[in-house]
Amino acid sequence: MGFLVALHFLTTLPVPIKSGLPDDAWGRSMAYFPLAGLVVGASLVVAGYLLSYLWPAPIVAAGMLGLWVVITGALHLDGFADCCDGLLVEKSPTDRLAILHDPHIGTFGVAGLIVLLLLKYTCLLSGETATFSLYRMLLLAPVLSRWAMVYAAVVFPYGRAKGSLGSLFVLHVSRRSLMVSSIAAIIIAGLVGGWFGLAALALTWIVMIGIARWTMTRIPGLTGDVYGAINELTELAVLLLATAWPA
């Protein structure tokens, strides 16, 4: 059930789960976040393989990026944009939290999304000629980024009161969930990527820690939007590492 709950939350795929789940089901589902990420990555690999028979590389890269946005419901992109608006301005911590809660996207958010998506598109496009397989890159990035969210939720304090969406996960996630998700991430990273996979796992941890600690200097704790930003930026870090990985 935990895997299905994770898949239901993290993707737009039709997942058969019961309505009225207990609150702790959401937190316990975080143990399966890396596996849900693997489903996302596998979907991108299949799409890229099929599209490559019909269109040239630029269109294939755009198609994969579009599917990436659709299959995740732009959930984490929204959090990243909110963080650009709320954390990059010179305001009080209270004002920053209010901006993060605002559903509207401002100038920083729009600019951040453009740069992020452009970088992802460029990585997908260059992946065809990169020394590391494009498909392995696509498999690993969603896995490791979702593991990073679990780590941040367990290790760093939450910055909002009870009742928010993020609190449903944070209040019921445990170190056991972190251990299970970490084992899954390590195994997948090693099997799919070998030494690159393990290097990508280490880079993901470094980027996640850096984002979380910097955020703590801006607001008193992490929020759901920050988890989304961690997901997006660690995904990008894995893509950038893959395109630069030596033969």
- Residue 234 forms part of a structural domain: yes
Higher pLDDT among residues 214 and 2, named by residue: 214
CB contact at 8 A, 200 and 133: no
- Residue 188 forms part of a structural domain: yes
Domain that holds residue 187: 2-7+26-241
- Residue 70 forms part of a structural domain: yes
- Residue 13 forms part of a structural domain: no
- Residue 12 forms part of a structural domain: no
Confidence of residue 170 (pLDDT cuts 50, 70, 90): confident
Residue 214 reports pLDDT greater than 80: yes
The amino acid occupying position 147 is W
- Residue 14 forms part of a structural domain: no
Which residues fall within 8 angstroms of residue 113, CB to CB, at 6 or more apart? 77, 80, 81, 84, 105
* Residue 245, helix vs strand vs coil: coil
C-alpha separations of 113 from 91, 119, 169, 223 in Å? 21, 10, 25, 19
User: Rounded distance, CA 143 to CA 37, Å?
Assistant: 4
Mean pLDDT for 212-237 is: 95
Q: Which of 23-32, 53-62, 66-75, 151-160 has the lowest mean pLDDT?
A: 23-32
Confidence of residue 2 (pLDDT cuts 50, 70, 90): confident
Structure tokens at 155: 């290790």
Confidence of residue 27 (pLDDT cuts 50, 70, 90): confident
User: Rounded distance, CA 83 to CA 96, Å?
Assistant: 9
- On the 0-12 / 13-18 / 19+ scale of CB atoms within 10 A, 22 is exposed
CB contact at 8 A, 126 and 64: no
- Residues 96-106: pLDDT tens digits? 888 898 888 99
Confidence of residue 174 (pLDDT cuts 50, 70, 90): confident
| Total number of domains in the chain | 1
Mean pLDDT for 80-88 is: 95
- Residues 115-168: pLDDT tens digits? 999 999 999 998 765 556 788 899 999 999 999 999 999 999 998 765 566 677
pLDDT at 164: 63
Q: How high is the mean pLDDT of the chain?
A: 90
pTM confidence score: 0.94
pLDDT at 166: 62
- Residue 232 forms part of a structural domain: yes
Smallest Cα–Cα separation from 144: which of 77, 68, 235? 235
CB contact at 8 A, 37 and 142: yes
- Residue 166 forms part of a structural domain: yes
Other C-beta atoms closer than 10 Å to the C-beta of 78 total: 19
